[in-house]
Structure 1
Amino acid sequence: MPLLLALLVLLVSLVVTFSAWSSAERNAQAQLLETFDYRTRDMAVSISRRMAVYEQVLRGARGYLRGSVEVGQREWEEYYRTLRLDQSFPGLEALGIAAIVPSAGPAARALATSVTRIEPFSGRNLRAVGFDMYGEPVRRAAMERARDTGLAALSGKVVLVQEGKAGQQAGVLMYLPVYRAGQLTGTVEQRRAAIAGWVYSPFRMDDLMRGLGGAHSTDLDIDIHDGEPGNDASLLYRSGQVRAARLRASAQIVPGGRTWTITMRSSAALEHSLDTARPRLVAITGIGLGLLLSIVVWLLASERRRALQLAQGMTLELRQSHDQVAAEQHRIKVILEHAPDAFVALDARGRITDWNAQASRLFGWSAAQAIGRDAAELLPEEGRAAFRTGFDDFAVHGHCPLLGAPNELTVLDSQGRPIPAELTVAVLPIGQGYGATAFVRDIRQRKETEARELQRQQGLVDARQALARAQKLEAVGKLTGGVAHDFNNILHIISANVQLMLRADGANRKRLLSILDAVERGSKLAGQLLAFARRQPLHPLEVHVDGLLDRMDSLVQRAAGDAITLERRVPPDLWPVLVDPNQLENVLLNLVINARDAMDGSGRIVLALSNVHVDGDALLAAGDYVTVAVADSGHGMPLDVMERAFEPFFTTKPEGKGTGLGLSMAHGFARQSGGDIRLASEPGKGTTVTLYLPRHMAAREVHAT
């Protein structure tokens, strides 16, 4: 009996040892598979992210060009060196410009290109200068796709012009179209008509991939094919020799609108990292303990007391093992309860089974309220049917598109309020089916930050554009003022001499009067130019604009015409301003006449006055202002006309219908008076011209005009 008992104990020990060894072996295999899955996902994301970064480099270069491929070699070199592209973006072979050039010769094509700029302008990149990439089918297909879509386009596999006879690598090129400034690009035909060239970057695939692996670059053997894997003709990159690997995975990315298939195999180095020591230790320990236990049982079988002691010892070990399991479960619970993201676990029916404290804070349900609910209640109503259908399929097969990388979606709290969130889902095997675990991160603050940053960037763009227009008008004003001043001096000389001649000789009086009339018109033109240049003599007085409009009422009504409805909006307690009243009358009259002409004889003109406080911007100092807005219901202005509206002699009226100095004079008067003028218009919806006149803080005069 002692021998049979010892053999039975040994058999049980071997069974337990085999079970523990199998579990350890499965854990080691699972750990290797988990490491491989992480490496493959990380590699695919790294390649996709790197290509997206290079696309942003091209977008930055296109923004620098601002609608023209005509850039000097020195400026292009300075741009490349300032951004340190060769140091900040490893794998970027070069940054170049392919411009459209005239095609000559009997076999001339409809379109030809030439590489006009490339940096770094040295070494093998010199071979690309002047190369017509549009003449090669693979490159042309990518260039046409970029031109027609307005997006970055990646070419198929090519041999770069930079390659020599030795050490050739497979190459690809990424193109981004450059459209001429001011051209419409809303349709394919408009984009084809507006194309001026391309900014592009060539990539040598071995150089591109060299910096992506990092510390774990030896864990994977990688093949990259252009499109679906085929023969060597589609092979872009291969990191090592093809071998029979334990693990294998594939992923597809779409850089620049072109599909790349990435085939990844576990390398020998990764497979050698498989933990075989632990299963071996478990097996050796289990067999040794089984033999020892069998010997002990055989020796002590005849002594009940010693057998009881042995049983107590085994009981203590089992209790310790149970305590360890309980402690591990408690540790996992503490980790989940203090996790920064909400944790939700679902069974195979889509019901909530686990719910941490962060989930309660995010969704507003306690764990007792949430557990047992259908997870579809966390989603908006329009997405619940699709979730139930997809989860039923997932519960059977264990696959869904949300597995792995984080995904953004909208969830609902207990009050039905939408919350933008980031979801990371993992499979949870449950019996014969599959459940899921999910970490849900609240990204409301991140979304708000992104929206504020977008608004800030748009504000910077608007400010830069306004400053550029002001600088342009300032330069034109200086030139115009100088010319008008000299012209006015000449007119004074002519006028004085004509008047002297009129006194001395009356025979040619009619001709002299004609000359004098022309001189007066030239003097008026010079005065308008001086007004635009802000060099006209002003006699500022304290003016109440509402009283000024009352006195001008009949004049303004005659200028507008009987078919025009004239409406005034004047607030109470309007602030006074310090301006030249005569010049202000001229400006208002010109604005009303422009509004009348924009409506083809019928419509409505609104004169609106208001007190405003301006915090300050690129062209207007902070302070209090009185605004005078002249709004019409005419045909409005397109953007290109608005950008030139304040330039002298620019007009959209027919020849002989205007000098083009009305708005430019108003602009010069407003700026010379310490204010500004703003233009708002939309085709088909009318135009509003707003004068900003600084508030006058002096005591109100009884005779103020």
Structure 2
Amino acid sequence: MPLSDRPADSAAAASSRSPAALPLLLAALVFLASLIVTWVVANKVERSAENELEASFNYRARDLTASVVRRMAVYEQVLQGTRGFLRGSVDISQGDFADYYALLRLNQSFPGIQALGIAAIVPPAQLGAHVSAMRAAGFAGYEVKPPGPRAFYTSITHIQPFGGSNLRAFGYDMFSEPVRRSAMEAARDTGNAVATGRVTLVQEGTRSAQPGFLVYVPVYRKGLPRVTVEERRAAIVGWVYAPFRMNNLMRGVGGEHATDLDVEIYDGHELAEDALLFRSPGARAPGSRAMFTHTDVIDTAGRTWTLSIRSSKQLEATLDKRPSLAIAATGIGLGLLLSLVVWLLASERRRALQLAGDMTLELRESRDRIDAERQRIRLILQNAYDAFLAIGPDGRVTDWNAQAAKLFGWSEEEALGREAVELFTAPEWRERWRGHFAAFTSRGECALLAGPSEIALADRHGRTLPVEIAVTALPSNGGYGAVAFVRDIRPRKAQEERERQRQQRLVEARTALERSQKLEAVGKLTGGVAHDFNNILHIISANVQLMMRNEESSRKRLLNIMDAVERGKKLTAQLLAFARRQPLHPSVVNPAQLIDRMDSLLHRAAGDAIEIRFELPATPWNTLVDPNQLENVLLNLVINARDAMNNQGHITIAIENVTIAPDSELGETGVKPNDYVKIAVTDTGSGMPPEVMERAFEPFFTTKPEGKGTGLGLSMAHGFVKQSGGHIRLASRPDEGTTVSIYLPRAQQETPDPLYIPTPH
């Protein structure tokens, strides 16, 4: 036998001696591995679908909570408006109250309000006279319920709509029931709207009674002081109130996705059955498990509600498991196919060797193609117009083209393998850059990934280079690396500076012209508004005088008066809409940097005779706010402080990082617990008495002489802060100065937006 045949014979002999079960074992192992991979992929896809569904649930739950808060705020405004209509007296005719109720159209606009009523205080000595007067007014069966002697009586003397189940409440003494009495006393002593705990309304019948609650707003006698609790107790004459049925109140709150959520509302913090106010129709039984849950605590008219929200069966049924099933089926099929291939390869060694050779050849050709492509890309990058560099997860340079060497002054041999921050950042910036890059390496998140950004780097000699940089993240096993194209924008910056100077000269010329035009326009607007209101007042005055002379035409004159009043309301509504319709452009702002940028502007506004002091923390939190509107608010506050000090004293602007807890003083007044940036402006001026503080945020209210102020400064600041999700507080005493504190929510982004970061020098 030739020698050349011996290796083949030896291989055949070795193959014949191999165990027959080995191909099947290999195929089984491959199939098992494919099943494991299939399970991992299918499980990941199913988990991703669950996460998307959970995000949708959380959004709808938060939106439902916000809808409940908004709806209760609207109801509170209705009661406040009714108190204003009464003008300090509960002695109003039933007809006038019915007309007012019809004008509100509560049944169409405010679902959930069972009625609108007035509870009057009846002194025990006048109880008999009160009942006689009501019966004489046409209510023959009227009586104060429940009967019996008491030290203090109240009675529902007005209720609309006056009919149906509301007649059960007519004459009812709500002060005789402990839960209602507690809320009425709290409203009386605080002057605010106060809600009761869970009650059964008097209007409810014996069957299918719904849980309910009532909201009270106190009515004080006109002209009496009510600064202290004792004064408010002395001035109280009754309450405006509204009863609510929870099922009716919650109808329609969830919108078209209401069936996706199982909602339970409890009175207080405890999720107890006796505190349950509302449960969604068809909701799961208490204690049953849901896929997603969400709990919120809200404040409604001084009362704490706990919202327990769970995903409904209908929402959970929308979870699409078809992709994971398809992946499982595909994986099993591919596993079987791969197992068959392995079995065939293991069974036919010659075929396997030939296949291995073909694969080796293909891999070699593929490697050659990759090397050629790599060389082509290298030539392109080396001759690119922009500097190109690549950084590995360890922060060291892996690629550096000729333009990068020209821009930064480091040759390719010097740059490769060195730490990137040493090559293009100044020494004083390097620690900050290392921190940013460490965070990017672990999470792959960076503000520069959003698109081309303008930043400042440094060359080999420490000179600052303004550049435009485009960064792309490169994930790898060791974390995230990055590639970047860097363009030198010094020529463009020089051109922009020349253009800016030219535009500045044009702006200065336009500003002088616009200033005079704005003054003229403001004068015309003020004159026009005053003229319109003057005409309205003339109409009202003339009609009243004619009514006094000729009583037969009273109805016609009253209609004319109402027409004039409606015109005045429309004009006022237009002015208020104009004042509140301000578009905001929020961005992440560092308040200390913003105030530092305003330093010269604030000193010019305060004047040379007034000192401005700053109390700024070392690391203030960032906040998401419109920087231009915040500058306007700070400027207005400094101007107000200057006017209150008569050009003598000092103004202090302080920034503080504040965390408001639920049990803190501010948390108990309705400020939502959160992290806030507090900006306080304090002056040493004349201060404000309590009656002025109560109206300080009202539009057009001012204590300045005529022509010295519009009365819009604090009202505009109030609207801006509320629109930005924050809060504003006023503290002042006569002759002790005033402090205006602004609380803006903390932004989670650690660094401000690039537009507001000063370029290092």
Answer yes or no: same fold by TM over 0.5.
no
TM-score class, shorter-chain normalisation, is 0.3 to 0.5
**Greater Rg over alpha carbons, structure:** 1
Compute the TM-score of the two structures, normalised by the length of structure 2.
Answer: 0.42
The normalised TM-score by structure 1 is 0.45
